[in-house]
Amino acid sequence: MNTREQYEVIVVGGGPAGLCAAMYAGRGMLRTVLLERGLPGGELLNTEWIEDYPGFMKIKGRELAQLMTDHAREFGAEIRTENVEYIERRPDGIFEVVTSLGNIFEAPAVILTAGGTPTKLEVPGELEYAGQGVSYCAVCDGAFFKGETIAVVGGGDAAVEEAEYLTRYAGKVYVVHRRAAFRASKLLQERLFANPKIEVIWNKRVLELVGNERGLRALELEDTVTGERSVLNATGCFVFIGFRPNTGLVRGHFAHDASGYAITNDRMMTTIPGLFAAGDLRVQLTRQVTTAVGDATTAAIAVEKYLADLRDPTTHAAAVRGVPAVPEARLGV
């Protein structure tokens, strides 16, 4: 039977940002529910080791996810396994968050922390060796490949920039691109070509990622011109062929950049009053666990202030001010 439930704040997404937001909201004595389609933890569940989170020299991604989940629950946040279909703000200012089960969650404030989805190669071995050689984040996992031979797949700014970054750890970096020229900016290309640790493999696409019980060991490639097959020995494969922020869950118009990342003010509120965004789907310089929880802390505390202002009409106008005009922003999703 479908249900309709009321909360003070709904957190959509159960990664580090969502869990932190739920923890702070619960700590603020707000009736809080976190909706996550799978196990709480987000990309932490796909990361074997975390070495850049303050206070933990080295901790397994799954362990950190469980600690964050327990912390949120300790402060009273409710965590539900629900796949969110869409978020919509009614004319009365109340948000309806509708799930694939037909359940409706209502609240005057929503914190959207649904992150984004890296575009996958969708080849055999990719899922099997995720976290065991296959990665989508150079900053997160590069340090695990010191002195090793790794491959970067892609040809845009992200692939070229991250390939150069990875040379500080790897002994050799191959960039595998399906075309004969990069789409990346000229400046980034110049830096890459000048790096002696990097070799570009043109006109190749990945057919399969091959490994054993120790993890990834090679990439099977196919020439996009001749069809010839070859094997590239590598213990790491970093995939940078696209990333899509999950802002499409929102029905309504709000400011975002050309790639769909939400633009917020300094309180993490979007141009939809009462809709806050935190973590990977927000416009920002870098996307790390630490920046995600920082965003979420600000968002949750801002929600407390926003809800208090709703009860005081004299201050409510200030609470719903949108972000400053941003030249590259456009409306709609």
Give percent above pLDDT 90 in the chain.
Answer: 78
> Which letter does DSSP use for residue 179 in this model?
S
pLDDT at 43 over 70: yes
> Could you tell me if 165 and 158 are in contact, meaning their C-beta atoms sit under 8 angstroms apart?
no
Q: 């009736």: which residue's tokens? A: 31
Q: What would the CATH number be for the domain defined by 134-239?
A: 3.50.50.60
**Candidate from 22-26, 84-88, 114-118, 175-179 with smallest mean pLDDT:** 114-118
Mean of the per-residue pLDDT values of the chain: 91
pLDDT at 46 over 80: no
Please give the average per-residue pLDDT across 146-152, as a whole number.
Answer: 98
> Which structure tokens are listed for 327?
């030249």
pLDDT at 109 over 80: yes
pLDDT digits (tens, 9 = 90+) for 271-298: 999 999 999 999 988 788 999 999 999 9
pLDDT at 264 over 60: yes
Q: Do domains 4-117+243-319 and 134-239 have the same CATH topology?
A: yes
pLDDT of residue 50: 86
Per-residue pLDDT band for 325 (boundaries 50, 70, 90) equals very low
Q: For this structure, is 141 an active site residue?
A: yes
pLDDT of residue 313: 67
Give percent above pLDDT 70 in the chain.
Answer: 93
Question: Regarding predicted confidence, which is higher, 105 or 45?
Answer: 105
Please tell me the distance from the alpha carbon of residue 148 to that of residue 74, in angstroms, as a whole number. 42
Closest CA to 239 of 145, 143, 133: 133
Catalytic residue, from 20, 140, 237, 280: name it.
140
Q: For this structure, is 140 an active site residue?
A: yes
pLDDT digits (tens, 9 = 90+) for 216-228: 999 999 999 999 9
pLDDT digits (tens, 9 = 90+) for 194-241: 999 999 999 999 999 999 999 999 999 999 999 999 999 999 999 999
> Which structure tokens are listed for 159?
């692939």
> Which structure tokens are listed for 102?
């037909």
Question: Regarding predicted confidence, which is higher, 123 or 242?
Answer: 123
Catalytic residue, from 141, 237, 280, 295: name it.
141
Domain spans in the chain, listed from the N-terminal domain onward: 4-117+243-319, 134-239
Please tell me the distance from the alpha carbon of residue 216 to that of residue 235, in angstroms, as a whole number. 5
pLDDT of residue 332: 35
Please tell me the distance from the alpha carbon of residue 86 to that of residue 103, in angstroms, as a whole number. 11
> Could you tell me if 267 and 3 are in contact, meaning their C-beta atoms sit under 8 angstroms apart?
no
Please tell me the distance from the alpha carbon of residue 20 to that of residue 296, in angstroms, as a whole number. 6
Catalytic residue, from 20, 52, 92, 137: name it.
137
3-state secondary structure of 43: helix
In this structure, CATH architecture of domain 4-117+243-319: 3-Layer(bba) Sandwich (3.50)
Q: 């799954």: which residue's tokens? A: 62
> Which structure tokens are listed for 270?
């979007």
Closest CA to 254 of 272, 230, 238: 272
Please give the average per-residue pLDDT across 136-152, as a whole number.
Answer: 92
**Candidate from 43-52, 90-99, 132-141, 301-310 with smallest mean pLDDT:** 43-52
Please give the average per-residue pLDDT across 7-28, as a whole number.
Answer: 97
Q: 């590239």: which residue's tokens? A: 232
Closest CA to 331 of 256, 262, 276, 263: 256
Please give the average per-residue pLDDT across 288-310, as a whole number.
Answer: 96
Closest CA to 296 of 111, 63, 26, 81: 111
Q: For this structure, is 237 an active site residue?
A: no
pLDDT of residue 51: 82
